[in-house]
Structures are given as structure tokens and as C-alpha cells.
Amino acid sequence: MIATRLARALGPLLLAAGAAFFTLAVFEVGVRVAGYEPIYQVYSHPEVFWREDPLLGWSHEPGSTGVYVGPRPWPVEYEAPVRINSLGLRGPELAPLPEAGARVLLLGDSVTAGFEVPFEETFGARLEALLGAELGSPVQVVNAGVRGYGTDQSYLYYRDRAGALDADVVVMWHSANDLSDNVTLHRMRRIFGKGGLAPTEGGALAPVGYPIPDYALCSEWLLDAGFEARRVDSSFERAMCGFQTQLADRSALFTFLSMRIRRNPGLLLFLYRLGSPSGGAERAEGPGGGDPLAERKEYLTGSILRALADAVRSRGAHLLLIKPPEFLDPEVLARPDVGRVEIPVDLSQLEYRFENDSHLSARGHEVVAEALRPGVVERLKSARGR
């Protein structure tokens, strides 16, 4: 009797579910016939060109090539060719440096990597041309920027991997989202996670979260106020993440709907952020709407930048910080081997970035190269004097 009643109760629900599934399948076939494809067959996957890295979490796959297309899910604004050399760095293979030559190393995240424009239009390539013309001798500018990197990963790369490059000047691009990247061990929907760094009482940096675990795709891990690893995602967020990654990103119907919804940017971002504890951005808000970890993030980031300055000085090189954060210890900037570079324009203006993407356009890269030129020239001349 109970089984019969249960069957009668579930019958309409099962029929409705079946009808809905059949309807969605028909729409899926229809939009594919109309020429739509799953989202990552139209745009580049966020982790394109990445490989797992036991120290950095991820790094570029040496020798990989491709075309970087985006921004998802807006109208395509860039289709830039990308080449990763045998050292895992964007750009051509490095030729042996002549005895009278010099080398500049660029560190940073996606802004430095500049996948949105061809390599020749990145601020690194433009800077190399400007320096060679002004100094009259060969200068190599090496691009070690990687999408998604925090200050911690750039520092670890320089400390453990960049010694053989023997750079005379190191340029570090500090992005506002570095503060959150430095306390994030795994971001939901990201293939790879990373380790972290925690400041100690003695002023050193201790590794946290090593060896790097195989994080679940739909999980989010942060360093808490005590710089210990803590999972912060909820069951609802995991469910939404699972839906987005297992169905939506593989469905041509989702592509069709995204391109309709993008006419309402607010709604599109709301739907996307349903599967992200951090709101799809770089902030975890407290009860009052602020960031309860703000001071900790600043302290950690400042400690990493100080460690980077120490590592650069230990190799007899100079460090230039692009737009260094206000909370950075003034004693660091007061060092003779550390300089700052201010960009003379607001790079958030549409003139210097893409319409639906905050990354630099070719014009933005040109402005940054011009802003860097005087400081790098001064430091290279100083290095030659020594």
C-alpha cells in the first residue's frame, strides 16, 4: 500500500523531470545545429598552457603554443597567439647573452603575461626595444608572468627558479588582487591549487600547505587569520559549482543562454558567482561588509615583497616595483637597490584596456613600457657602473 502511494506521488514528478530533460535535449540539439558550441570551444579555458607544479601550484607548459581567445562570455575582443618557450616563459627562446648585454626579468600575474595581445605588443617586448635603442647594447627582457599568480608564487619562482637567468634588474607588477591570491590555496573551479606562505615571529616566511594536496575541483581553501588552511565552501556552492563545470561549460545551450544574458552584466555575474564562496572575485566579506582578513593580507603581502627585495639584493640585482602598495614598509623602498614605478595614467580607463576585460590592451602595454623605461635605464647604468 505504501509503495503504491509513493509511486502515485512520484509519478508526476518523474514525468515532469523526463519532459524537462527531453525539452533541454531538443534545445541542445537545436542550438548546436544553429552553430553554437560549448563555451570552451569558443573561448580559451582559463587554465590553458598550465601544468601542475609542486612548488608553484601551476606553471607554463614548456613548448606549448596556441591562441588565447576571450573574454568569456562577452563578444570576442582578442585572439592572440601565445608561445611558451622551453623554460616555461612566454616568448621566444632566450639567446645567449653577449658579454656587454644586460637582462631584465619581469614578474607578476596575467597583466605581465599579457596573453590578450601578441607577444610583440606586451610591455616587456616593447620595453626591450626601447632599452636597446637608448643604451645602444643588447638588452633581454624576460617575461616570467603567469596568469593567476600571487606575490607569493612570483617570489618563490625568483627564489628557486630564476637564478640561472642572472637578471640585472627585476620588475615586479603588484596587482590589487595579489592580497587575496596570497591567502588563497585553492579557488573553486580551478584545476590546480597551490601552497602558501605564513610570516613567522622572526620575520621569515614559512611554507603552508605543502606538499600541495589534490584539491577537489569544487572546493575553496584559504589561509585564515592564523595563517592555517581552512575550507570555506558550502554544500550549495559545491552543487552550483558542479552544475557549472559538469554541465554548463560543456553545453552549447549554456553558450546560447550566456550570450543572451550578457546583455544584463549584473545578472550574468550573479549567476556565475553562485558557485564561488569568494564571489568569483578576491574578497571574503565579514558581517559588516568589510574584509576581516584585510590587515593580515596586507601584512603577509608586505612580508613577501620584503623577502623578494632581499632575494634580489642577494644576487646583486635591482628591484623595481610597479605601483607598490601603500602598506609596504617605507624602509624597503628606501633601499638604494629598490625603486618604484608609477604609471602616469589611470589604466582602468577604456583607452588602455579591453571593453569587457580589465586586462591591458596594446595601448595600455605601450604606456607601461614607456613608464618603465627611465627607471630600468637608470638601474642598468648603475649595474654597469658597479
Q: Is the peptide bond before 75 cis (omega within 30 degrees of 0)?
A: no
Tell me the Ramachandran region of residue 64: left when phi exceeds 0, alpha when psi lies from -120 to 50, beta otherwise: beta
At 249 the pLDDT is 76
At 281 the pLDDT is 37
Per-residue pLDDT of 272-309, as tens digits, reads: 666 667 543 333 333 344 576 788 999 999 999 999 99
pTM of this structure: 0.87
At 289 the pLDDT is 47
At 234 the pLDDT is 92
Q: For residues 361 and 83, what is the distance between their CA atoms, to the nearest angstrom?
A: 18
* Contact call for residues 242 and 225 (beta carbons, < 8 A): no
Residue extents of the structural domains in the chain: 42-201+293-385
Q: Is 380 exposed, middle or buried (0-12, 13-18, 19+ CB in 10 A)?
A: buried
Q: What is the largest CA-CA distance in the chain?
A: 95
Domain 42-201+293-385 has CATH 3.40.50.1110: yes
At 201 the pLDDT is 84
At 72 the pLDDT is 85
Per-residue pLDDT of 324-363, as tens digits, reads: 999 999 999 999 999 999 999 999 999 999 999 999 999 9
Instruction: From first to last of the 386 residues of the chain, give the pLDDT tens digit.
Output: 565 655 555 566 556 655 655 565 665 566 566 545 677 878 899 899 999 999 999 999 999 999 999 998 888 999 999 999 999 999 999 999 888 899 999 999 999 999 999 999 999 999 999 999 999 889 999 999 999 999 999 999 999 999 999 999 999 999 999 999 999 999 999 999 999 999 998 889 999 999 999 999 999 999 999 999 999 999 999 998 988 887 777 776 666 666 666 666 676 666 666 666 754 333 333 334 457 678 899 999 999 999 999 999 999 999 999 999 999 999 999 999 999 999 999 999 999 999 999 999 999 999 999 999 999 999 998 775 54
Closest CA to 305 of 327, 286, 283: 327
| Cα angle 173, 176, 178; round to 5 | 75
Contacts (Cβ under 8 Å, ≥6 apart) of 370: 130
Closest CA to 172 of 195, 197, 150, 203: 150
Q: From residue 98, how far is each of 139, 167, 357 by CA, in Å?
A: 9, 13, 39
